[in-house]
Amino acid sequence: VAHELYIDQNKRLLIISKSRERNTSMLSEIVKSCEIMGLKFEINNSNTLRLEGLQGKDNSVSAVTIGTVSFRGRHPDIIICDDIITIEDAGEAIRNRVQLIYDELTKLTSEIVIIGQPAHFNDLYAKLRPILKNKLEVPWGSIPELDIDLDAQRDAGVSEISIQASYFLKIANLGNQPFEKIKFIDAYPQVA
């Protein structure tokens, strides 16, 4: 985001995440990076950044949560969705809400960056993975210097489902799919 603002100070960006605390933290880091590059802000708070001299009603960066009622009326050039689905809330109602939100976001701009990992075989991430042309997937082992100790994660009580989703991009079906629990077939029907 800081780089985009440095390159084009008229850019408008919208950040969507799960929590206000996360948004505040991200905006703080963006401000630090921009100030190092000499950019100054007219507005700098926990959900809005506005570069000095910016024209128009939209701010440089707005940060909202996934629970925001409406995204209409905004005119972002780029939207960044940060972990809008997680393992903890992969229920059907939330998956449907996130899908509806994504559909609304595509009406605002075609430049949407989605950060996260699939949490359910039928969530937005899982649906988009096969059709996206520009994607960067970084499973565990891709950058060994950044890999965490998976055995330590397991010893700390992190579930295998969470580890597989987070570090190997493998989605658990959690027993909802037909025949999922069948490990082997010990008999075959007679064919006449």
Q: Region 25-45: what's the mean pLDDT? A: 95
pLDDT at 71: 81
User: What's the rounded Cα separation, in Å, for the pair 11 and 75?
Assistant: 10
Residue 165: the pLDDT is 78
Contact 129, 170 (CB under 8 A): no
User: What average pLDDT does this structure show over 21-48?
Assistant: 94
Mean pLDDT for 146-152 is: 90
- In angstroms, the CA 9 to CA 177 distance is 49
User: How far is the CA of 82 from the CAs of 17, 64, 165, 168, 182, in angstroms?
Assistant: 5, 11, 16, 18, 36
CA distance 105 to 121: 22
Of 128 and 143, the structure prediction assigns the larger pLDDT to: 143
Find all residues with CB under 8 Å of 117, minimum gap 6, and list them.
Answer: 125, 165, 166, 169
Q: What is the DSSP letter of 45?
A: S
Whole-number average pLDDT of the chain: 84
| Other beta carbons less than 10 A from residue 2's beta carbon | 18
| Amino acid letter for position 35 | E
> How far apart are the C-alpha atoms of 54 and 60, rounded to whole Å?
8
pLDDT in tens, 66-88: 887 778 888 999 999 998 876 66
The predicted pLDDT at position 176 comes to 55
